[in-house]
Amino acid sequence: MAVLHNLQFARLTDQLGRVADLPATTIALQQQQRLRRLIDHARQHSAFYRRRFSGLPDELTLQQIPPTTKDELREHFDDVVTDRRIRRRDLERFVGDERNLGQWYLGQYAVCHTSGSQGPPLLIVQDRQCLRIILATMAARGRPGPKPGIREGLRRIWKPTRVAAIAFRRGFYPSGMTLEFTQDALWPFARISRFSSIQPDLIERLNELQPNVISGYASVLEGLAIQASDLRLGSLEYITNSSEQLSQRAKFRIESAFQVPVVNHYGTGECLQLADGCPLCGDMHVNADWAILEVVDDDYRPVPAGQVGSRVLITNLANMTQPFIRYEVTDRVALRAEGAGCPNPLPRIERIDGREAELFWVRDGDRDRFLSGILFHSAADSLHVIREWRAVQRSRNEIRIEVVLLPGTSLSSKTLEEQLTRRLYDIGLPRSVSLQVGIVDQLLPDPRTGKMRRMVTELDRSGHTAGATEIERAPAAT
Ligand SMILES: [Zn+2]
């Protein structure tokens, strides 16, 4: 059985990798067929979408469908999913038990929840085929070097790619969940070694492994780039950013430090296969055969290519279990106007504003350590009472966390401080960092971007007040 799955995966990767040979009309046709299949399936098997589509014509176009929001999909979760056996309460129990990591829910579904970087988390359910499409798209498109194919496949079986996957920790967050199933899917072409971004011997272990590929969050990669002089990675071929948005400045910094390309990846937990960085033109291309990205304004009107919209609507053509159709995400994206420049016919993303790496530098004993925002996301998510939070680095090893609680939650500041502090120290925050936690009524977004900035610091790596850190000064992904 396993071998059959791997053959199917290899075939899919091969097909997806040949996209540059396809005319744009073929991709548009695939998109339309898959959209129709998704709409029909949702109409038949999801009570939520049946209600949503009632009164609309049978032959629906995408633009006739009203957008959906995270709050709606969370509130009506049991009605949204197309398999009646899936129940939110049941799933909450499933993700509440870490022993279920790497296990298929009901024997057939991979489960995760969004990180909470855009409001309270939403549970996400995907079947094997959906997960296979996510992984195969990344393997086929999100990398430089030889195209996948039989010859490359055989070469990889002989000499599997050594991948260092640096995650913060195991967990049910989207990229963490994907990683749980990656080794099985990529066998026998790649060997995945997993590291934690907070393990003290990370540099030594990477030097030992001599990876061909490093995959990690933008903030982790930036942290590694600053320590590049300690790394001896002679076999490194490329680096992939698996989560968080990478600014052009940060990308340039990482590429200069390691002398290999950095391939960016843009997805949300709700549609992980949304877009992959292109080794040919350097932009990201929307994987339009398996996802639809609409850039729109506040009134959901389409925004022309070259202009930044106020939000995007995402349609995931691979997830038949929990349909995301015109799902609203407040990312500010500009598509690139049509034109020459890349043989890959998939639509290109010119820029994504407002998502920036989240990183603090602290002192731990006699060394500088970086703290990725993922640490704080994970601690906040794990308490299940936090709606919004913001961490402010006030001095080198002093952090204040401001928290807005979910409605209906009653918790004293003192209890919250105890719980959050214990959680953070448990999952790797150095004891040398002192914490203060306060409950506030609301947190306002950054007026420049309209986005919630969760990690605020005015200190640079050496602990000096820089007015603004290099990360803050860097333009958002342009
Ligand atoms: Zn390209």
Q: Which residues pair with 111 in a beta bridge?
A: 125
Q: Report the separation in Å between the CA atom of 341 and the middle of ligand 1, taken as the mean of its atom positions.
A: 7
Q: Whole-model pTM?
A: 0.78
Residue 48 has pLDDT above 70, yes or no: yes
What is the pLDDT averaged over residues 50-62? 91
Q: Report the separation in Å between the CA atom of 343 and the middle of ligand 1, taken as the mean of its atom positions.
A: 7
Q: Report the separation in Å between the CA atom of 305 and the middle of ligand 1, taken as the mean of its atom positions.
A: 16
Residue 461 has pLDDT above 70, yes or no: no
Q: Report the separation in Å between the CA atom of 19 and the middle of ligand 1, taken as the mean of its atom positions.
A: 11
Q: Report the separation in Å between the CA atom of 24 and the middle of ligand 1, taken as the mean of its atom positions.
A: 14
* Residues ≥6 apart with Cβ < 8 Å to 397: 362, 363, 432, 433, 434
Other residues' Cβ atoms within 10 Å of the Cβ of residue 49: 23
Q: Are strands 398-405 and 434-439 parallel, antiparallel or unpaired?
A: parallel
Q: Report the separation in Å between the CA atom of 331 and the middle of ligand 1, taken as the mean of its atom positions.
A: 21
Distance CA 10, CA 341 (A): 29
Q: Report the separation in Å between the CA atom of 66 and the middle of ligand 1, taken as the mean of its atom positions.
A: 31
Overall size of the chain counted in residues = 478
- 305 vs 25, 234, 335, 347, 438, CA distance in Å? 19, 40, 5, 10, 43
Q: Report the separation in Å between the CA atom of 354 and the middle of ligand 1, taken as the mean of its atom positions.
A: 23
**Residue 476 confidence class, pLDDT cut points 50, 70, 90:** very low
Q: Report the separation in Å between the CA atom of 23 and the middle of ligand 1, taken as the mean of its atom positions.
A: 14
Q: Report the separation in Å between the CA atom of 437 and the middle of ligand 1, taken as the mean of its atom positions.
A: 45
Q: 338 is written with which tokens?
A: 């049509």
Q: Which residue has better confidence, 116 or 397?
A: 397
Q: Report the separation in Å between the CA atom of 344 and the middle of ligand 1, taken as the mean of its atom positions.
A: 5
Q: Report the separation in Å between the CA atom of 246 and the middle of ligand 1, taken as the mean of its atom positions.
A: 17
Q: Over the stretch 151-188, which tens digit does the pLDDT of each residue have? A: 777 777 788 999 999 987 788 888 889 989 988 888 88
Average pLDDT, the chain: 85
The predicted pLDDT at position 459 comes to 74
Q: Are 43 and 302 in contact (CB under 8 A)?
A: no
The predicted pLDDT at position 165 comes to 94
The predicted pLDDT at position 462 comes to 66
Helices assigned H by DSSP within 61-189: 70-75, 77-80, 88-95, 128-141, 150-158, 174-186
Q: Report the separation in Å between the CA atom of 284 and the middle of ligand 1, taken as the mean of its atom positions.
A: 7
Q: Which residue has better confidence, 326 or 474?
A: 326
Q: Report the separation in Å between the CA atom of 283 and the middle of ligand 1, taken as the mean of its atom positions.
A: 6
Distance CA 38, CA 321 (A): 10
What is the pLDDT averaged over residues 23-33? 94
Q: Over the stretch 82-111, which tens digit does the pLDDT of each residue have? A: 999 999 999 999 998 999 999 999 999 999
Q: Report the separation in Å between the CA atom of 13 and the middle of ligand 1, taken as the mean of its atom positions.
A: 18
Q: Which residues pair with 243 in a beta bridge?
A: 217
Q: Are 181 and 135 in contact (CB under 8 A)?
A: yes
Which strands make up the sheet holding 213-217, listed edge to edge?
190-196, 161-167, 213-217, 238-243, 262-263
**Which residue's structure tokens are 């744009």?**
24
Q: Report the separation in Å between the CA atom of 368 and the middle of ligand 1, taken as the mean of its atom positions.
A: 37
- Is the Cα torsion angle 61, 62, 67, 70 positive or negative in sign? positive
The counts of H helices and E strands in the chain are 15, 21
The predicted pLDDT at position 200 comes to 84
Q: Report the separation in Å between the CA atom of 41 and the middle of ligand 1, taken as the mean of its atom positions.
A: 33
What is the pLDDT averaged over residues 26-31? 95
What is the pLDDT averaged over residues 316-333? 94
Backbone angles phi, psi at 401, to 5 degrees: -110, 125
Q: Report the separation in Å between the CA atom of 203 and the middle of ligand 1, taken as the mean of its atom positions.
A: 32
Q: How far apart are the first and last CA of the chain?
A: 45
The predicted pLDDT at position 181 comes to 92
Residue 5 has pLDDT above 90, yes or no: no
